[in-house]
Amino acid sequence: MITKQDIIKFARTVAKREAGKVPSRTINPTREWVRGLAVAGLLFVGGMVYAGFSFSSQLHITDTQPNVEVTVPQYDQAALARTLEVYRARKESFEKVHGKSISGQYVEPATIESGTPPKAPSTGPLEAI
C-alpha cells in the first residue's frame, strides 16, 4: 500500500527533476557513448583477429592436385553403330508423324577410330523427342 511518505518521496523526486537536477542513475550520455564505442571497438578488434587467423590458415592452400591420371574412354564401334541406327529410326518416325524433314548431321562409325570423341552433331528438333 502507498503511504504518505512514499507520495512525499515521489513528489520530491519530481520536483528535483523539474529544477534541472538529473539523478545519476538514469541515462548519462557520456557513459552511454563510452559503452557503445567500447563494444564497437571490441567487435572490430575481434573481427580483425578472426580475419587474420583465417587469412594465415588459408595462405598456403594450393589448388594443384598431385599426379592425376587421365584415362581416355574407348569407344565400342558396334555399340556406336547400334546407337546411330536407333536415332536414325527416331528421325524417320519423327518425319513421318510431323511431316517435316530434319537435316541433322550424323557421324558415321567408320570415322571414329582414333579413340577420341567426335564433336556432337547438331540435332535440332530431335532434342525435344
* Position 26 in a domain: no
* Position 32 in a domain: no
* Position 1 in a domain: no
Amino acid letter for position 34: V
* Position 42 in a domain: no
**Number of domains making up the chain:** 1
* Position 66 in a domain: no
* Position 39 in a domain: no
pLDDT tens for the 129 residues of the chain, in order: 788 888 888 888 877 765 556 666 777 888 899 999 999 999 999 999 999 999 998 888 877 767 778 888 787 888 888 998 999 898 888 888 887 776 665 555 555 555 555 555 555 555 544
Structural domain boundaries enclosing 111: 77-128
Q: Are 74 and 115 in contact (CB under 8 A)?
A: yes
* Position 106 in a domain: yes
* Position 56 in a domain: no
Per-residue H/E/C for 57-75:
HCCCCCCCCCCCCCCCCCC
